[in-house]
Structure 1
């Protein structure tokens, strides 16, 4: 591509997506810091809340997209804060199941309030149909990534 040729949407997408994701995260993190949460600290709580609890550490790490050893440190911090508890898996004694505590559920409600407020402002220019189209696109991108990782 020479300097006079405009970039095609597929050529612009990756960089725009990366930059936007970083900006999105920074905007959220600035607000969530008031709750004492880091950019890595709040997603595990939200995924546990969404799942209703009972996820294994491996399942949670896969949903978040981080390494299991990184997640263990976060879970230890959250357990010390009284936000999560680990329970034995009745089907497999080598496995822990993760659950939010009452305090953890309260923190999730505060996180959700921040997300609603901040994301509401960021998404104000999009209607529900546009948002659904973006979410559908994210799903297809995720499927493409999974296929690539599987070697297809």
Structure 2
């Protein structure tokens, strides 16, 4: 079966490999890779709301509540009231969560370093950069994006 021109197939193979390998690396964390993505996102800036983290990571808000409950029970995350609107909850890492996310990032980085055995280190870095740029270009938050246009723009930038 030739799949050399099927982007969806290729992305699926890479994603499933990433998910499988990452599950092994962070399997001791509540909700594995999903829990890692939440902790990693919380470590990058101002405390987000539950609604904004659900939208950013594409997690159903109801499911997110259960994941956050488990991360909070593990002492990694706290929900705090927003200073301007007490009905809104902001998410923050605990001291234990900040320490743990750094350990988990190292584990995931080791997994990702070995993700593309058929590529050179330079090619792997380039692929990662291009995929991250494509994702950032598509992740507008409003659902209005054209994946083909984003990829074309990236390729044009790389060529010129």
Residue 93 of structure 1 deviates from its aligned partner by 1.2
Structure 1: gaps (5+ residues): none
Q: Give, in whole Å, the separation in 2 of the partners of 1:84 and 1:101.
A: 5
Structure 2: gaps (5+ residues): 147-160
Give the TM-score normalised by the residue count of structure 1. Answer: 0.79
Pick from 85, 96, 119 the counterpart of residue 89 of structure 2: 96
Give the TM-score normalised by the residue count of structure 2. Answer: 0.75
Residue 63 of structure 1 deviates from its aligned partner by 1.3
Aligned position for 2:136: 139
Q: Does 1:33 align with 2:27?
A: yes
Q: Give, in whole Å, the separation in 1 of the partners of 2:106 and 2:10.
A: 27
Structure showing greater radius of gyration is 1
May I ask how many residue pairs the two structures share in their alignment? 141
| Structure with greater proportional strand content | 1
Q: Does 1:55 align with 2:48?
A: yes
Q: Once superposed, what is the RMSD of the aligned Cα atoms?
A: 2.6
Question: 16-25 or 102-111, which moves further after superposition?
Answer: 16-25
Task: Say if 1:46 and 1:7 are closer, same or farther in 2 by CA, change over 3 A.
Answer: closer
